[in-house]
Amino acid sequence: MSSQEDLADFLRRRREGLRPEDAPAHATLPPSQRARRTPGLRREEVAALAQVSVSYYERLEQARAPRPSPQVLSALARALQLTEAERDHLARLAGQVLPTENGSAPEHVPEDAQQLLGRLDGIPAYIVNERQDIVAWNAAATALITDFSRLPPGLRNLTRIATRFRGTLCTGAPGSESDFSLHAAAQLRAASVRYPTDNGLAELINEFATHDPDFARSWHNHVVRPIPIVRKNLHHPSLGALEIDRHTLSLPGSGFSLVMYTAEAGSASAAALRSLRRPPGTTRAM
């Protein structure tokens, strides 16, 4: 699917997700003699809210219109009530944000991020790039999940671990696979627009969509809102049952995210995580 077709599909799905009652109180939707057969706003209603012509908006949804200007994109974002993440995605689909020059997700972790990771003593944590490759991790993450250094670099990826090692690693028994799939779809969707020539990323997306119907559905629906906290119920071979939260924090300006595992204070799971405490250390993927 071309970027123009992606833009058309994104606009259509966001329009269909809105109801007339979702329109701002001060907005006046154009009258229509037609019965509303399906949920969602009509094209002429979105055009009115964005103050663009109906014919232009129709051509946008048909992938036949010229690239919209930043002003039009801003008006469409308001009309469709897009979140900040969805606004960014809309701008990238419309070509208003240039793809990165190197063509692929970064792998060299900044030194300050390495230091932060090493100081998270007793908190399992690792760093991923926009392709969801695990590029650095600490000793507690090794103790909780697996020794990532023993995995081939091609398998050292969150989505591949989730699909290929289901039930064999500590990560294999999450409490909410669908939340993880939603988060992965949002992250990889953003990366695919940022790195349109990254063939490895395209292969990863196709692979995950084939193995995970939740991911495929989220990708198809243009889910771009990541889920920063996912509750997981794990079974560790030595620690037993754990109820922990997986936090994902973006590291501004770097293209990397920090993923941490914590448990509710005072819980048995928190005590179990504290037993993973080891001298700080970081292993870097080559």
Q: What is the CATH number of the domain that holds 16?
A: 1.10.260.40
- Residues in contact with 224: Cβ distance below 8 Å, sequence separation at least 6, in sequence order: 85, 86, 88, 89, 186, 189, 190
Query: What is the distance between the alpha carbons of residues 161 and 143, in angstroms, rounded to a whole number?
Result: 16
Residues 184 and 50 in one domain: no
In this prediction, residue 28 carries a pLDDT of 63
Q: Is the pLDDT of residue 115 over 90?
A: no
**Domain final position from 62, 93, 124:** 93
Give the C-alpha distances (Å, rounded to integers) separating 53 from 18, 43, 46.
Answer: 19, 10, 10
Residues 131 and 16 in one domain: no
Q: Mean pLDDT score of the chain, rounded to an integer?
A: 81
Q: 47-51, 84-88, 163-167, 184-188: which range is least confident on average?
A: 163-167
In this prediction, residue 33 carries a pLDDT of 54
Q: Which domain holds residue 118?
A: 111-284
pLDDT digits (tens, 9 = 90+) for 190-248: 888 778 788 888 888 998 888 888 888 888 888 877 778 888 888 888 888 888 998 99
Mean pLDDT of the 160-165 span: 73
Residues 87 and 115 in one domain: no
Residue 82, in any domain of the structure: yes
Residue 100, in any domain of the structure: no
Residues 135 and 86 in one domain: no
Residues 254 and 122 in one domain: yes
Query: What is the distance between the alpha carbons of residues 195 and 76, in angstroms, rounded to a whole number?
Result: 24
Mean pLDDT of the 258-277 span: 89
Give how many domains the chain has, as a whole number.
Answer: 2
In this prediction, residue 59 carries a pLDDT of 94
The larger pLDDT score, comparing residue 3 to residue 59, is at 59
Mean pLDDT of the 155-159 span: 87
Residue 105, in any domain of the structure: no
**pLDDT band at residue 283 under the 50/70/90 scheme:** very low
Q: Is the pLDDT of residue 38 over 80?
A: no
**pLDDT band at residue 105 under the 50/70/90 scheme:** low
Percent of the chain with pLDDT over 70: 80
Residue carrying the six token digits 């109820």: 243
Residues 86 and 160 in one domain: no
Residue 89, in any domain of the structure: yes
Residue 17, in any domain of the structure: yes
Residue 13, in any domain of the structure: yes
Q: Is the pLDDT of residue 284 over 50?
A: no
Mean pLDDT of the 55-83 span: 90
| pTM (two decimals) | 0.67
- Angle formed at CA 230 by CA 226 and CA 233, multiple of 5 degrees: 155
In this prediction, residue 113 carries a pLDDT of 86
Residue 101, in any domain of the structure: no
Residues 241 and 129 in one domain: yes
Residues 119 and 56 in one domain: no
Residues 58 and 152 in one domain: no
In this prediction, residue 109 carries a pLDDT of 83
**pLDDT band at residue 254 under the 50/70/90 scheme:** confident
Q: Any long-range contacts for 250-257 (C-beta under 8 Å, 24+ apart)? A: 251/110, 251/113, 251/127, 254/106, 254/110, 254/113, 255/105, 255/106, 255/129, 255/130, 256/106, 256/109, 256/110, 256/113, 256/127, 256/128, 256/129, 256/130, 256/135, 257/127, 257/128, 257/187
Residue 104, in any domain of the structure: no
Contact 230, 179 (CB under 8 A): yes
Mean pLDDT of the 118-141 span: 89
**pLDDT band at residue 260 under the 50/70/90 scheme:** very high
**pLDDT band at residue 279 under the 50/70/90 scheme:** very low
Residues 51 and 133 in one domain: no
CATH number at residue 134: 3.30.450.180
